[in-house]
Structure 1
C-alpha cells in the first residue's frame, strides 16, 4: 500500500481535513459504545436533564441541592434510588484511589477505552446505563429513604480524591488518566446520574 507523502497531506482541502476529523471522532464514539458493557454511548432515557459539570465542585453543588430539597427519580431515567446512586458514584471515586476490582484488559483500555474517554471529553458529558454496576464492585445496599449515609460517603470520597497526593489508579475502562482527566471523568459520571433526578415538587 503506497505511503501518504507529506506533500499529499499538505494538499488536503479544508473540507477533506474536516471529514478526517469527523471520522476520527466517530471512531471514538463507536468505541465508547462498548465501554460500559450493556450501556451504550447514545443511551439517553426519557427525563434526562443533560447536566454538564466540569469539576467535582460543580457536581457536588448539585448533589447538595438535590439532597437538601428532596431528590426524586425521574422515571424511567433510572432504576436506582437516590441513596444507591450516591453510593455507586462514591464507589467509582474510591476505586480511582485504591484500584478497580475488575479492570478491562490493558489492550482495551489503551484502544477502545481511551477513544471512548476522548469522545466523552469532547462532548463534555457521557451517557451510559444508569443501572449498571461497576464491574466487580460490591452490590449496592438496598434502597433507603434516608440517604444521609450514602451522601456522607460520597462527600468523603470527593475529599479524599482532592487531597490524594499520589498517582491515581487506572480507570477500569479508560485506563490511565491524569488528575485533571480523572476529575472530568468523575464529574461527567456524576452529571449523567444526577440528570436522572430532580427536586420534589413543593
Structure 2
C-alpha cells in the first residue's frame, strides 16, 4: 500500500473515531420542539414580535438570515461544495450522526462557504420573516434538491431534518431580551 493511501486511511479512521466520540457529546435533552418543519416554524412564530438577544456570536437577524440562506441553497444550489470524497464519507457520516442523535453541533459563527454576507435584511423581524418564507418555500417544494455543501445528496425528509437541527443548534444561543441576564 502506498504511503499516501495509508495516510488517508489513517485520517479517515481517526475522523470516524472522533465522530463516534462526538455522538456521545451531543446533548441528550429535548429539542426546543419536535423535529419537523411544522414544529420549527411554530418555534419561529413564537419569536415574532419579541426582543431577542444572542448570548454569543451573531445577532438574531444574522442567525435567521444564515438559516434562511441554508434553506434557499438546498433549493437553488450552494455557492461552494466540499470535495466529493468529503461529502460521500465524512460529511454524510456527520449528518447520519446528527440524525441518529436528533441534535446537531457545529461552529455557530461560520458562514456557509461562498455565501453572501448576513446583512440583508438587517432587521430582526424582517430576517425572521425571511426565514419563515424559506421554510414555507422548502415545505412546498416537490422537485429535486441540490446537494448539501458538506453532507452531499439528501432526500427531502433528510434535508428537512437537517434544516430543523441546524435552526435548533443556532437557537441555543438566542434568548428573549428580558431573560438574557
Please, which runs of 5 or more residues in structure 2 have no aligned partner? 1-12
2-side partners of 1:42 and 1:157: how far apart? 30
For the 8 Å contact 1:29–1:119, the answer to whether it is kept is: no
Normalised TM-score (structure 2): 0.79
State the SS of the aligned residue for 2:150: coil
2-side partners of 1:140 and 1:61: how far apart? 23
For the 8 Å contact 2:26–2:101, the answer to whether it is kept is: no
Q: Name the stretch that deviates more: 119-128 or 151-160.
A: 151-160
In structure 2, do the counterparts of structure 1 residues 109 and 32 end up closer, same or farther at CA, with 3 Å as the change threshold? farther
For the 8 Å contact 1:32–1:115, the answer to whether it is kept is: no
Please, which runs of 5 or more residues in structure 1 have no aligned partner? 1-23, 34-40
2-side partners of 1:119 and 1:197: how far apart? 24
The structure whose residues are more often helix, as a share, is 2
For the 8 Å contact 1:71–1:200, the answer to whether it is kept is: yes
2:162 aligns to what? 185
Q: If you compute each CA radius of gyration, which structure gives the higher value, 1 or 2?
A: 1
Report the CA distance between 1:165 and its aligned residue: 1.9
Deviation track 1:83-116 (CA, whole Å, cap 9, x = no partner) reads 1110000000000001000011111101001100
2-side partners of 1:168 and 1:142: how far apart? 24
1:128 aligns to what? 106
1-side partners of 2:44 and 2:21: how far apart? 26
In the alignment of these two chains, the number of paired residues is 163
1-side partners of 2:21 and 2:86: how far apart? 11
In structure 2, do the counterparts of structure 1 residues 180 and 29 end up closer, same or farther at CA, with 3 Å as the change threshold? farther
| RMSD after superposition | 2.9
Normalised TM-score (structure 1): 0.71
Report the CA distance between 1:30 and its aligned residue: 2.3
The answer to whether structure 1 residue 159 and structure 2 residue 163 are counterparts is no
